[in-house]
Structure 1
């Protein structure tokens, strides 16, 4: 009998569902995953995230893939999910010996979108092994000076 128990999947209505997804994503990056049979870094897509004016930019490292065939992007409930699959085949023949080395695997990453993100206008591009996702974010107007509010008599 195992000492670990799988937690129930959170529902979208749960106020803790987003926190659960973030925790699960964090756990995927932990070195202890090596004990479970996965090589470190093989199951998690590495990303850079930053803000470019009113746009959240996510750059994912995905070398050696065909973005048209091997990448799937989905967005739901304020979360962006990147699924990718890599297939690499090498064949070497010399002096009567043939060696074929196949490497393949599925990768995924789920990331929270910034507050005010516009899910319908997300764009993505792929160049030189990097997938760049641009998410428009509505900027909240920040006032530095107090504004006087008139009180009506009525």
Structure 2
């Protein structure tokens, strides 16, 4: 079977092999490169319901007090901490055999595609997903304009 060469997959394989060698040499495991890269930037969905923009961000392990959300003009910023980490006392007494769950701070800024009413915005977190509902301003909402015939033409047609 012929397999297409991917430089990213090759780099990931090389990094994984280097991680394995370091683990064997020093008796500890470091987090793989791509796991670190993914914790620095949460996965984000942004969609429009017509009445509001909805943003969903994957922030596993984050609590409400770990997150800060702000809107300035048409820019949304989400900052916080997420992931899994042991407290210092527990971390002193453990032997790691595998460690891939990341932990860290992040800051993500999005330019919103439409003006929103920041005063009416809502945010909640459930099962590691931060959901922001940002109602669009009345100017940004789609308005249907009915098409009418001129009254003289409408009378002639009937």
| Backbone CA RMSD of aligned residues | 3.1
Q: Residues of 2 paired with 1:92 and 1:46: CA distance?
A: 28
Paired residue total:
110
Which runs of no fewer than 5 residues in structure 1 stay unpaired?
1-30, 149-154
For residue 92 of structure 1, report the CA deviation from its aligned partner. 7.7
Question: What is the TM-score when the length of structure 1 is the normalising length?
Answer: 0.58
Query: Rg: which structure is higher?
Result: 2
Using the size of structure 2 for normalisation, the TM-score is 0.57
Shift of 1:99: 2.8
1:90-129 matches, within 5 Å, as 91=90, 98-99=94-95, 104-129=103-128
Unaligned runs of 5+ in 2: 1-7, 13-32, 151-158
Query: Which structure has more helix as a fraction of its residues?
Result: 2
Task: State the partner residue of 1:43.
Answer: 40
Of structures 1 and 2, the one scoring higher in RCO (CA 8 A, sep 6+) is 2
CA deviation vs aligned residue, 1:25-71 (integer Å, no higher than 9, x gap): xxxxxx8xx9xx8832121121111122301110100011111x210
* Residues 89 and 103, structure 1, Cα contact 8 Å, conserved in 2: no
Would the aligned equivalents of 1:64 and 1:88 in 2 still touch at CA under 8 Å? no
